[in-house]
């Protein structure tokens, strides 16, 4: 049975209530996309723009997964950049330069072209959680400037932090003016609307149950079947599809967000006058931003057991108040969580199970930008331009030869280790 959007600030303010029909019967298309988050919707839209016929299957509702629940932070680059560079050397560095803001560009051009209202604002900051983290942030900015790619970056010295955030908890940071934040569910619904307008047949409540590869691949649902030349597993699909190169590759871990009631203009201006999206420099990090109606959306991880906490608000609020004591008396209107897919190398997994079955997943909490990059890379590969796809395909990922349960326990232990390291 399909699930509705989780009860979040985003679901409460979604501006498109389109319901797409369930797949009934057999159909054919050039491409069958499995998954209706950013990875799937963006792939479908890109391929429809290039003239392909596309059927997209979503088990629940469009944007039901991480894409409709996330922090809305549109962050440059991909996770695992350091590992990618050490595996691919100069080619990796050139790839990163080429794709760093590609997702932003795709999102921005779609917002304009298809009139998508999703509250995009520019300005994103990485804030130093420890004084020593500033060395690393300075080095990162210096490297980007040396590469000729530092235009939008600005260092904030510790002494200047009170101009930027109404908290004394951080020790400087850097701002990326090209990155920013947005309402992810409205973006996802808007891109779905755009895809449908170009002929993509979107099916909700249509979980793909089996995948048959080979020369004539097809996907079945409980009530239908899609025969396609190419299949894209877009985002983290369920167990049935985690096979071959996907076995033991990604491990889901929880991330959670609370939303306060709206702040007054004066309160918002004293807390975050430039309305930046902020992430701290810890590995197990806090992230926050103001929504368009001036709520504080504050997210992070609140346990290391890989079990959802019973009371999200009680679990996250102390950390919010530690950073912003001014918000002590604010009511929490919404609290929700979702799954982040962790890959041990932290490099997104973009590849193929078979010549005509592609996958993209494992963005490690860094997916707003990266899903749009990955979907373009896969669309390019389907159209015959393989350069970027081949580089990702060459990445040596670490696969854990254990089931997901044991893998998750190991991951929980790993996260605990990093949390302790962050605290030292």
Ligand X SMILES: Cc1cc2nc3c(=O)[nH]c(=O)nc-3n(C[C@H](O)[C@H](O)[C@H](O)COP(=O)(O)OP(=O)(O)OC[C@H]3O[C@@H](n4cnc5c(N)ncnc54)[C@H](O)[C@@H]3O)c2cc1C
- Of the candidate residues 37, 80, 92, 172, the single one contacting ligand X (CB under 6 A): 37
**Helix or strand run (H / E) with residue 83:** helix 81-99
Q: Among residues 39 and 356, whose Cβ is nearest to ligand X?
A: 39
Does residue 306 bind ligand X (CB under 6 A)?
no
Q: For residues 90 and 298, what is the distance between their CA atoms, to the nearest angstrom?
A: 37
Question: Which CB, 148 or 339, lies closer to ligand X?
Answer: 339
Q: Which stretch binds ligand X (CB under 6 A): 28-36, 88-96, 320-328, 387-395?
A: 28-36
Residue (13 or 270) nearer to ligand X, CB: 13
Between 365 and 407, name the residue whose CB sits nearer to ligand X. 365
Distance separating alpha carbons of residues 218 and 241, to the nearest angstrom: 13
Among positions 59, 99, 249, 258, the unique one binding ligand X when judged by CB under 6 A: 59
Contact status: 208 vs ligand X (CB under 6 A): yes
Which listed residue (371, 378, 382, 407) binds ligand X by CB under 6 A?
Answer: 371
Query: Residue 209 CB, nearest distance to ligand X (Å)?
Result: 7
The one among 40, 172, 173, 180 contacting ligand X by CB under 6 A: 40
**Environment class of 125 (CB within 10 Å of its CB; exposed 0-12, middle 13-18, buried 19+):** buried
Asked if residue 128 lies in contact with residue 170, where contact means CB atoms within 8 angstroms, the answer is: yes
How far apart are CB 38 and ligand X at their closest, in Å? 4
Binding-site member from 71, 173, 217, 351 for ligand X (CB under 6 A): 71
Stretch that binds ligand X, among 11-19, 63-71, 260-268, 321-329 (CB under 6 A): 63-71
Considering only residues 263 through 282, tell me which ones interact with ligand X, judged by CB under 6 A. Answer: none
Q: Compute CA distances 133 → 136, 138, 163, whole Å.
A: 5, 9, 20
Q: Is 48 in the site for ligand X (CB under 6 A)?
A: no
What token pair was written down for 355? 């010549």
Per the listing, tokens 């050039």 go with 30
Q: Beta strand pairing status for 73-74 and 173-181?
A: antiparallel
Q: Do residues 353 and 213 lie in contact, with contact meaning Cβ atoms separated by under 8 Å?
A: yes
Residue 67 touches ligand X, criterion: CB under 6 A: yes
Burial degree of 129 (CB within 10 A; 0-12, 13-18, 19+)? buried
Q: How far is residue 61's CA from residue 58's CA, in Å, rounded to a whole number?
A: 6
Phi then psi for residue 249, to 5 deg, are: -95, -45
Binding site for ligand X (CB under 6 A): 34-40, 57-60, 64-67, 69-73, 75, 207-208, 234-238, 255, 257, 287, 299, 337-340, 361, 363, 365-369, 371
């Amino acid at each position: 049975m399909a699930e509705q959007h989780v009860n979040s600030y985003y679901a409460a303010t979604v501006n498109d209530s389109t319901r797409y029909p369930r797949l009934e019967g057999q159909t054919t298309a050039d491409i069958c996309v499995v998954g209706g988050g950013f990875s799937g919707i963006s792939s479908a839209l890109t391929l429809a723009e290039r003239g392909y016929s596309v059927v997209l299957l979503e088990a629940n509702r469009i944007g039901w997964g991480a894409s409709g629940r996330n922090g809305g932070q549109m962050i440059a680059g991909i996770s695992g950049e350091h590992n990618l560079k050490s595996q691919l050397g100069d080619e990796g560095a050139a790839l990163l330069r080429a794709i760093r803001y590609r997702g932003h560009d795709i999102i921005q051009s779609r917002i304009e072209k298809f009139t998508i209202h999703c509250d995009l604002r520019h300005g994103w900051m990485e804030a130093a959680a420890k004084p020593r983290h500033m060395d690393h942030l300075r080095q990162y900015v210096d490297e980007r400037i040396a590469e000729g790619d530092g235009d939008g970056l600005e260092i904030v010295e510790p002494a200047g932090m009170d101009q930027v955030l109404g908290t004394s908890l951080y020790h400087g940071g850097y701002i990326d003016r090209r990155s920013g934040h947005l309402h992810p569910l409205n973006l996802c619904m808007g891109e779905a609307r755009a895809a449908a307008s170009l002929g993509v047949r979107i099916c909700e409540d249509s979980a793909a149950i089996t995948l048959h590869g080979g020369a004539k691949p097809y996907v079945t649902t409980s009530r239908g079947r899609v025969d396609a030349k190419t299949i894209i597993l877009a985002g983290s699909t369920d167990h049935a599809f985690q096979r071959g190169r996907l076995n033991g590759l990604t491990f889901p871990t929880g991330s959670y967000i609370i939303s306060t009631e709206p702040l007054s203009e004066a309160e918002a201006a004293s807390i975050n006058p430039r309305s930046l999206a902020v992430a701290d420099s810890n590995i197990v990090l806090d992230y926050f931003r103001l929504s368009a109606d001036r709520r504080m959306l504050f997210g992070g991880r609140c346990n290391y057991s890989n079990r959802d906490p019973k009371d999200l608000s009680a679990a996250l609020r102390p950390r919010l108040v530690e950073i912003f004591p001014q918000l002590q008396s604010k009511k929490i209107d919404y609290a929700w969580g979702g799954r982040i897919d962790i890959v041990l190398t932290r490099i997104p997994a973009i590849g193929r199970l078979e010549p005509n079955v592609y996958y993209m997943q494992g963005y490690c909490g860094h997916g707003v930008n990266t899903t749009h990059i990955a979907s373009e890379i896969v669309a390019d590969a389907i159209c015959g331009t393989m350069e970027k796809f081949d580089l990702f395909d060459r990445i040596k990922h670490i696969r854990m030869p254990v089931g997901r349960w044991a893998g998750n326990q190991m991951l929980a232990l790993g996260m605990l280790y990093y949390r302790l390291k962050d605290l030292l």
